[in-house]
Amino acid sequence: MLWVDQHRPKTLDKMIVHQDVAQNLKKLVTEQDCPHLLFYGPSGSGKKTLIMALLRQMFGPGADKVKAENKTWKVDAGSRTIDIDLTTLSSTHHVELNPSDAGFQDRYIVQEIIKEMAKNRPIDTKGKKGFKVLVLNEVDKLSREAQHSLRRTMEKYSSSCRLILCCNSSSKVTEAIRSRCLNVRINSPSVEEIVKVLETIAKKEGLQLPPGFAARIAEKSNRSLRRAILSLETCRVQQYPFTPNQAISPMDWEEYIFEITSDIMKEQSPKRLFQVRGKIYELLINCIPPEIILKRLLYELLRKLDAELKHEVCHWAAYYEHRMRLGQKAIFHIEAFIAKFMSIYKTFLISTFG
């Protein structure tokens, strides 16, 4: 088991970061009925951990006993029935799923699952009908229709189920949903907090952390706690005992993008563009999201670039990122960006060095 999973705090009391949020949540669910919740914040800030701990707080250890199942949902959509495959994770008290995995059929899945949950409600000890919790991940990736239908279902079934929504950016969640939920913003942990967590883990694992090393990992992690813990574990495997200036290697796809950028800087020609396309395909095959590829590509290019070009390059990156969201096939837009960059860079080289 990875350390990230192993050392994940199980209860709200054990949280190291976001202690204040955890305490507030605890008060919320113990004192009164829980409203719908919307957690949002950057990746690796601890949203999921909070949600898991919250569920445990609400339902006791029973919430930990989960099973994953891949179920085919038969959805009656007007004239025909649609089969949708979706993996869900469920305990007796809650169901968790990524509705956006269903692609453009996401609007049916949300409705269908909530309906089914409402049908078989658990009965609590006092003989009162309780409620189930539905955890929806990546709500920001839901289509507009799905969000719209989610809002209706929320109202209709609010007595029998509570929703916990989780997403990176609340701006892509419709106003209607946001206003029906208690919004909880989870910030990225500060570098100090990350260091604290890393030290705790090191202590549990019985490792010697040289001074400054945890701080370096934290800096590199881009304030993502998950990233930091994963790096720590990687470093542990690569070299132990740690040395203060031990190399912290980036992820392999990041190295690959670094390679691509140096390819781009070395030669600017249609042929090279074609080679680069092949490499980008490789990344896409391995499920690296195109937005992340473009972002990382820009980051690497900017590091090597002359200051006067940076503005223009950023402009085009933003332009094609927008295009990518409007369009269908990401490669068209990534490639257009790379071609534009090559064109700009070549003109710059010719004008500077003749």
Q: Tell which positions 323-342 bind another protein, by CB under 8 A.
A: 323, 326-329, 331-333, 335-336, 338-340, 342
Q: Using CB under 8 A, which of 191, 248, 253, 348 touches another protein?
A: 253
Using CB under 8 A as the binding rule, the residues of this chain from 268 to 287 that contact another protein are: 268-271, 273-274, 277-278, 281-282, 284-287
Using CB under 8 A as the binding rule, the residues of this chain from 66 to 105 that contact another protein are: 66, 68, 70, 87-89, 96-98, 101, 104
Return d(Cα 126, Cα 114) in angstroms, integer. Answer: 24
- Comparing CA positions, the residue from 67, 57, 125 lying closest to residue 95 is 67
Reported as half-sphere exposure (CB side, CA atoms, 13 A), residue 152 has a value of 11
State which amino acid sits at residue 10: K
Say whether residue 230 binds another protein (CB under 8 A): yes
Nearer CB in complex with another protein: 126/202? 202
DSSP strand E in the chain: where? 37-40, 67-77, 80-90, 94-97, 132-136, 161-167, 182-185
Nearer CB in complex with another protein: 180/296? 296
State in angstroms the smallest separation of the CB of 110 from another protein: 15
State in angstroms the smallest separation of the CB of 31 from another protein: 26
Q: Using CB under 8 A, which of 288, 297, 298, 313 touches another protein?
A: 288
Return d(Cα 266, Cα 272) in angstroms, integer. Answer: 9
Nearer CB in complex with another protein: 211/278? 278
* Inter-helix orientation angle 330-353/307-326, to 10°: 160
- Side-by-side strand order, sheet with 80-90: 67-77, 80-90, 94-97, 132-136, 161-167, 37-40, 182-185
Return d(Cα 324, Cα 289) in angstroms, integer. Answer: 11
Q: Using CB under 8 A, which of 144, 185, 304, 315 touches another protein?
A: 144
Per-residue string for binding with another protein, 190-229, x by CB under 8 A? ------------------------------------xx--
State in angstroms the smallest separation of the CB of 294 from another protein: 12
